[in-house]
Amino acid sequence: MKFIFDPAIAVKIHKMKERVRWQHPSIVTRGIDQTSMVLDDGKDGEPDFSFMVIGDTGTQPHKNYHPQRQVAEAMLKHQQDCNFVLHTGDVIYVVGSQEYYPQNFIQPYREFLRGGENPQAITYDNMVFNKPILPVLGNHDYYDVPWMYRLLAGTTLHLRTLLRYKDFEIGWHGSYQGDAYAKAFLDYLQRFRSPQQLEFHLDEYYTAKTDTGRCLRYEPGKFTRLPNRYYTFRYGGIDFFALDSNTFNEPSPLPDTKEGETQRRELQQRRHEIEREELQILDACNKLNADNLESAEQLDTLRARLYQIDEVKIDIEKQLNWWHQKPDVDWEQLEWLKQRLIDSWNTEEVRGRIIYFHHPPYVTESSKWYQSQTLAVRHRLRWVLDGVRQQVGNLAQNRPLVDLIFNGHAHCLEYLRTTDTGHGDSHLNCIISGGSGRHPRRQRQEGKELLEQLPGQSLSKVADSLLFVGKNRHGELTQRPYSFVRIDVKSGNPPQFIVRPFVVEYLQGQWCDRQLEEILI
């Protein structure tokens, strides 16, 4: 029986389009671009500005400590001179439920919200940000809980005890195909029942203009909704592109060959092995007393491993389920990104480009590089950038096509740089900011060089990991650093980006925070 499942890509796309009334006649006749917004904070014209990046945050307090809140408090030291915060996804664990927004988001980030001095009065679907937090969807923001689990978990105490780790942050509800996220962050136009209500809303809040038409005006402290699950905005001469990687991470089918059948058997064997490990860990969990501090720490470690096993199982299922089938890919979004990047390069006032989305195309965290989703996202991003390079090669003048890429999903802080891959993803600077609250994970044992073998080609290096901050050491000496990054954008064309990584960690009975060495890009 599955206890967490990921909706089909077609379902995700369809549901999200319904929620924003995608291409409704009232929107089309007004010439509104539903993928653009203007961040109207009165400071957009300044070429020097700063912002922060967080990701994989949405967890509740652990035994005797709350790492997400500790990161938020460290961020408050930069709140005044940072213009906004990018969030790389997984806003709410484990299944993006509305039940957990109060304790897993509103409470930790209360100082960023209007009325934050009384966070209990803020509902998840009525948040207004004084300091913008601009997220993208993570996989957990889409996850759901089967109705049978909800029935059993609500009526069977023994099952709830056995599945204690799964029930740790799973209540009666899942995300309902991302509905909770949409109500929390998107301009949920589906709530307007009459054409008059919709038209009045559009005329009041879609008053900004860009090269692509009218668009939503995001005003901190007044109206802080996003136009769509993927969107773009320009700030200080930098074009930002926020993507939903959950709809282009479907793995390609295993080949219908003898080699493909071997890979299928290996995946089935791997699934059997981790399910056996899962049962062993569950048995160990049932023997621990969560009220005992030492046992609670062991239980926390075991739960972290179980969540990781869930993730691996879902990735294996994606590969096995697409046997002999064509993967479902959100080409509409990818084509949109390609054209908007081309337009960006042909706009003189734009001096840089930043993309952020959840699933990293390059990563050395222990569980991610060999996942089929990583490969799928990497190849589809490469397809986009290859198309951009064909159109703007001379304009780029040896610059990377994108200045910075931010991702989450991997529970770490990492800085990677791609090599000359022979494609449009050459010489990219990639930063993973996925260590802002959830269980940190280790770097893989294979090392810092990422190698790739494409069909008909030899093994070649595609990226180097230049910084990794994650779980380290073992036993009582285990280090669990949590992190975020601050980016200072400097004037000039091309601009300089100063990446300032920050870490908070529990050491010798108290929390401490530190800044790592700056990275110049």
Lowest mean pLDDT among 300-314, 340-354, 372-386, 489-503: 300-314
Higher pLDDT pick, 309 / 111:
111
Other C-beta atoms closer than 10 Å to the C-beta of 322 total 17
Higher pLDDT pick, 331 / 94:
331
Per-residue model confidence (pLDDT) at position 157: 37
pLDDT band, very low/low/confident/very high, at 370 (cuts 50, 70, 90): confident
What tokens were used for 174?
């899942």
Lowest mean pLDDT among 175-184, 352-361, 470-479: 470-479
The one-letter amino acid code at 230 reads Y
At residue 220, does pLDDT exceed 50? Answer: yes
Per-residue model confidence (pLDDT) at position 2: 54
Per-residue model confidence (pLDDT) at position 276: 83
Per-residue model confidence (pLDDT) at position 296: 64
Question: Fold for domain 9-252+327-520?
Answer: Purple Acid Phosphatase; chain A, domain 2 (3.60.21)
Share of the chain above pLDDT 70, in %: 88
Parse the chain into domains and list their residue ranges.
9-252+327-520, 258-321
Q: Is residue 11 reached through a cis peptide bond, with omega within 30 degrees of 0 on the bond before it?
A: no
What is the pTM assigned to this prediction? 0.90
pLDDT band, very low/low/confident/very high, at 230 (cuts 50, 70, 90): very high
pLDDT digits (tens, 9 = 90+) for 241-295: 999 999 999 887 766 677 767 777 877 887 888 778 877 877 777 777 766 666 6
Continuous segment of H or E residues that includes residue 12: helix 9-19
- For the chain, the average pLDDT equals 88
Q: How far apart are CA 424 and CA 431, in angstroms?
A: 18
At residue 365, does pLDDT exceed 60? Answer: yes
At residue 226, does pLDDT exceed 60? Answer: yes
> For the residues 187-208, what does the mean pLDDT come to?
97
Other C-beta atoms closer than 10 Å to the C-beta of 338 total 19
Helix, strand, or coil (residue 61): coil
pLDDT band, very low/low/confident/very high, at 125 (cuts 50, 70, 90): very high
pLDDT band, very low/low/confident/very high, at 322 (cuts 50, 70, 90): low
At residue 72, does pLDDT exceed 80? Answer: yes
At residue 31, does pLDDT exceed 80? Answer: yes
Q: In this structure, are strands 238-242 and 49-54 parallel, antiparallel, or unpaired?
A: unpaired
- CA nearest neighbour of 89 among 363, 316, 411: 411
Per-residue model confidence (pLDDT) at position 166: 46
